[in-house]
Amino acid sequence: MNSATFIQHMLNSLTLGSLYALVAIGYTMVYGILRLINFAHSEMFMLGAYFVFWGITLANLPWPVAMVIAIVVTATLGVVVDQVAYRPLRDAPRISALISSIGVSFFLQNVAIVFFQAIPREVYRPQWLENPIIMGGVRVLPLTLFVPLLSLALMLGLIWIVYRTKAGLGMRAISKDIETSYLMGVPVNRIIALTFGIGSALAAASGIMWALRYPQLQPIMGTIPGFKAFIAAVFGGIGSIQGAVIGGLALGFIEIMTVAFFPDLAGYRDAFAFVLLIAVLMFKPTGLLGERLEDKV
Amino acid sequence: MLEIRDLHVHYGGIHALKGVSLDVPKGSIVTLIGANGAGKSSTLRAISGLVKNKRGRISWNGTDISSKNPVDIVKSGIVMSPEGRRIFAHLSVLENLRLGAYSRSDEAGIAKDIDWVFELFPRLSERRNQKGGTLSGGEQQMLAVGRALMAAPELVMLDEPSLGLAPLIVKEVFDIIRMINSKGMTVLLVEQNAYAALKVAHQAYVLEVGTITLSGTGEALIADDRVREAYLGG
């Protein structure tokens, strides 16, 4: 393998890893606050991609506008899902909300099949993302730069919200002690809704960029990336945003590099993540940066 | 002032409060003493809006607040510092204080009150950027009180502020209670340390299995034989 190919593999790993990381953040933030694994999260990834598709084909919107609108709509939907499917179960046993999230996941997938149809659809890709550019002798797709850069910008925005704003302070407080936060005047339900909104927006952004990279839309397209992002969140230490980012990037590197160095294993590509999950749960169940997790669902 | 009339609280099948009535006049220190499980914390949790399943009237400055949620209760000027201090161990001292001011949006007033809390508790000021979890028990209690004060309340409810602290620190905690009261704060104090609580209180109530059995001034109850026998070790 020469250095040019290696750099390409690195960029591909970074692209894939960023996409996992963005989705993993949503899993980890919701888990951090509600101790809920939100299985419906992967459908936000799928819906975000579809919304862009419809924005472009039906409303004739320019691509960036369609992307922003799709993210906003998906974020709103994430809030609605919380209000309808999880909020009434706040005082119920944790397993109830978990089952509710599985129900929401199937529901949204099937709604997508009804409205968007099950046939895979081709995605429009802006030309400027497709024309390779040569950088220092390496042929680079602008997309493999665009995805990590936009992801980085979104993550910096997230860190700013979590560590520099009042709502972020509220999030960090309720992730440790909901009742005391409530007693101090933190509007807990509003902060939880905001968390779902942010997580869903990031998942939508990831789904949209995923559709640029693997340009095909399907109602079940969120399932496998969603599982992998969840594994990334567990690997990084569920509940930790930094952990989710590290876990996502690590998983991206593992997948791309294993296939790059051992092409014979390419067929097992999807299995790596699950092997990693089993290994993490067996040897370091708290993940890289996680806290103790004795009463996890 | 706070007036509670015939307050009942149920947890599942347990009737925790069976018609509690009490008054907390403006500017006073009122204490609620009683054994474990008598319903002291339930009373505070009901006032602060955490307990939804309740009956009776909780009137604050003339308006009924019994159906309000905790956020609105804090905004109305009542804040509760929960049992066990419950400070946010992973947040800095400063962030803990900012969190106490969450219901406010007057940035200038918040900054002024942070300075004021640091003036009251110079030890917190020295540790303002330290994580709450690194503080000693006494400092954590100061932080819990300071955090409650940051809501700019009229009434501060303290649930077992001396619990688990060394005797010397306990004395300090009661000094703090006297001090914040002298700054104009009304205090409703729940304590197991009955003697110290009665000493500091203007008015006191004895709670037994969900019912008020005795009330009077702090001094009167210290002198009362029934109180001496049951709570002050004879």
pLDDT tens digit string along A37-56?
999 999 999 999 999 999 99
Q: Kindly list the distances between the CA atom of residue A133 and the CA atoms of A138, A139, A143, B97, B188, in Å, as whole numbers in the listed order.
A: 8, 6, 10, 52, 71
- The position carrying tokens 């005047």 is A185
Say whether A283 sits in a helix, a strand or coil.
helix
Measured in angstroms, the CA of B79 and the nearest CA of chain A are apart by 7
Q: What is the mean pLDDT of chain A?
A: 93
- Which residue of A lies nearest to B45 if distances are taken between CA atoms? A183
- Which residue of B lies nearest to A186 if distances are taken between CA atoms? B102
- The position carrying tokens 């909780």 is B58
Per the structure, the complete domain to which residue B31 belongs is given by 2-88+151-231
- What is the block-wise mean pLDDT of chain B (234 residues), using blocks of 10 residues? 95 91 97 92 96 93 95 97 95 97 96 96 96 95 96 97 92 94 95 93 96 94 90 76
CA angle B200, B202, B205 (to 5 degrees): 95
Which CATH number characterizes residue B78's domain? 3.40.50.300
Q: How confident is the model at residue A137 (pLDDT cuts 50, 70, 90)?
A: confident
Measured in angstroms, the CA of B221 and the nearest CA of chain A are apart by 31
Residue B134 in any domain: the answer is no
Residue B226 in any domain: the answer is yes
The per-residue pLDDT for range B35-74, each reduced to its tens digit, is: 888 999 999 999 999 998 899 999 999 999 999 999 999 9
Q: How many domains does chain B have?
A: 1
**Could A184 and B90 be called an inter-chain contact, meaning their C-beta atoms sit closer than 8 Å?**
no
Name the residue facing B91 among A173, A187, A188 (closest C-beta): A173
Phi/psi zone of residue B56: left (φ > 0), alpha (ψ -120 to 50 degrees), beta? left
Name the residue facing B88 among A173, A185, A188 (closest C-beta): A173
Predicted-complex ipTM score:
0.94
Residue B220 in any domain: the answer is yes
Name the residue facing B95 among A169, A180, A188 (closest C-beta): A169
Class of domain A3-283: mainly alpha
Residue B29 in any domain: the answer is yes
On the CB side of A30, how many CA atoms lie within 13 Å of its CA? 30
Domain ranges of chain A: 3-283
Residue A297 has pLDDT above 70, yes or no: no
Name the residue facing B151 among A177, A179, A185 (closest C-beta): A185
On the CB side of A157, how many CA atoms lie within 13 Å of its CA? 11
| Cα gap A205→A215, rounded to integer Å | 15
Pairing of strands A138-140, B29-33: unpaired
Residue B117 in any domain: the answer is no
- The position carrying tokens 């567990």 is A234
Q: Is residue B206 within a helix (H) or strand (E), and if so which, with residue range?
A: strand B203-208
pLDDT of amino acid B233: 76
Q: What is the mean pLDDT of chain B?
A: 94
Measured in angstroms, the CA of B88 and the nearest CA of chain A are apart by 7
The whole model's pTM is what?
0.92
**Could A185 and B71 be called an inter-chain contact, meaning their C-beta atoms sit closer than 8 Å?**
yes
CA angle B140, B146, B152 (to 5 degrees): 155
